[in-house]
Structure 1
C-alpha cells in the first residue's frame, strides 16, 4: 500500500507504479486508450515537465498541426501516486478532446459535462502549498484563493474585493501567518518576513 513520506512530500510508490518518466508516459498512453472518450489519440503526444510548480498537467494545442501535447508534471505524479494521478490524465484528455473537436478548451459547461462523463475533476488539483492566501473578512463568507506570487491582489489588496460577496479581504502569508489588507501592510509584512518570504 502506498504511504506518504512526510519529509519529502513524495508518496511511496507501490510495486506497480511507474518509477521513471518513460514508464509514466507509457502508462499514461496505455491508460488514455482505456478512457471512454472519443479523442483521436494519434493526434496527442505526451511529455513530462520537471519545471511546473503548481499545475499537475497541461494540454497544449498546436492549431496548425491540429494536434495536442499533454505534459504531465513529474513532481505532481510523485506527490499524488498513480491512482490519484489518473484523474489528472482524464482531465487533460478532456482538454485534448475539446481542442481537437472545437479548436478551444476551457473549464466551462461543455468541459464540465465531458469531465463528469469520464469521472474527471473540473480543475486539476494543485500539488504544491500556496505561499499566500486571500481570505474574505465578511462573517459567513468562506471565500479563499491561493496565490503563489505577489500579484496585485497580494500587493494592493485595498484595490480588490472578495470574489464571492464583494467584501474586503485579508492576505495571509501561509508559512508565517503574517496578514495585511493594504499595500503599506504588504510592505511591512514583507520586511518582517524577510528571508522566509
Structure 2
C-alpha cells in the first residue's frame, strides 16, 4: 500500500473520503465511522444504525429503547438528495438526540438540544428532500396558508371539519402531481379513484 492509499484509507475512516457511499451498507458504515469523529459524549457502542427506504419527511430519526441504547435510522432518499457533505449534518443532528437520550432519558428540539447542536455544528432542522404528495390550502384568498403532506392522513382524507392553521377558515386539499382537489371525504374518495396509479 503506497502513501496515497494510506491517506485515502485514513480519510475514509474519518468520514472524509472523497468517494461518496454508493449503497445503503456503505452509507451505514460511513455514518458510523463519521460519528466517531464528532466531538460529543455519546456511547457509540450503544448506538445501532439502520436505513429507512420509506421516510419522506425525516432525513433521520433517533429511537431510544430506555436502557441507554439507541438506534439511529437514516433515510436513503435524503442522503441521495443531499449528498455526503450535507448529510453529515443529519448524522450530527441525530447524535445530539442520542446524547440527550443517553444523558437525560429524553430528547426534543428544545434549548438543551439547540446548545449541544451549536457545539457540534448541527442544524435543528433539515431541508425538505422529497416533493409532497398533497398540499393543504386555505380557502380564504387573503390568508395564503399552506401545509405539505406526504401521506393520506385524516387531515388529507377527511378535511371537512378541519380548519386552516393560520386564520381558521376551511382548507382544501390538492394532489400536487395531478392538481385534483377536494374538501370532503366523499370528494377525496372520488379524486383518489380518478388519480388511480398516479397517487
TM-score class, shorter: 0.7 to 0.9
User: Matches of residues 88-167 of structure 1 in structure 2 within 5 Å?
Assistant: 88-167=90-169
Gap runs ≥5 in structure 1:
1-13
Structure whose alpha-carbon radius of gyration is higher? 2
SS at match of 1:35: coil
Identify the match of residue 59 of structure 2 among 48, 56, 59: 56
Gap runs ≥5 in structure 2:
1-16
* CA positional deviation for 1:104: 1.3
SS at match of 1:104: coil
Match of 1:32 in 2: 35
Would you say the 8 A contact 2:39–2:120 is kept in 1?
A: yes
Match of 1:70 in 2: 72
When residues 106 and 51 of structure 1 are mapped into structure 2, their CA distance, relative to the original with a 3 A threshold, is same
When residues 140 and 42 of structure 1 are mapped into structure 2, their CA distance, relative to the original with a 3 A threshold, is farther
Per the normalisation by structure 2, the TM-score is 0.78
CA distance in 2, matches of 1:194, 1:69: 36
When residues 146 and 99 of structure 1 are mapped into structure 2, their CA distance, relative to the original with a 3 A threshold, is same
* CA positional deviation for 1:126: 4.1
Would you say the 8 A contact 1:57–1:124 is kept in 2?
A: no
* CA positional deviation for 1:130: 1.6
Per the normalisation by structure 1, the TM-score is 0.79
Corresponding pairs, count: 183
* CA positional deviation for 1:139: 4.1
When residues 15 and 41 of structure 1 are mapped into structure 2, their CA distance, relative to the original with a 3 A threshold, is closer
SS at match of 1:157: coil
SS at match of 1:138: coil
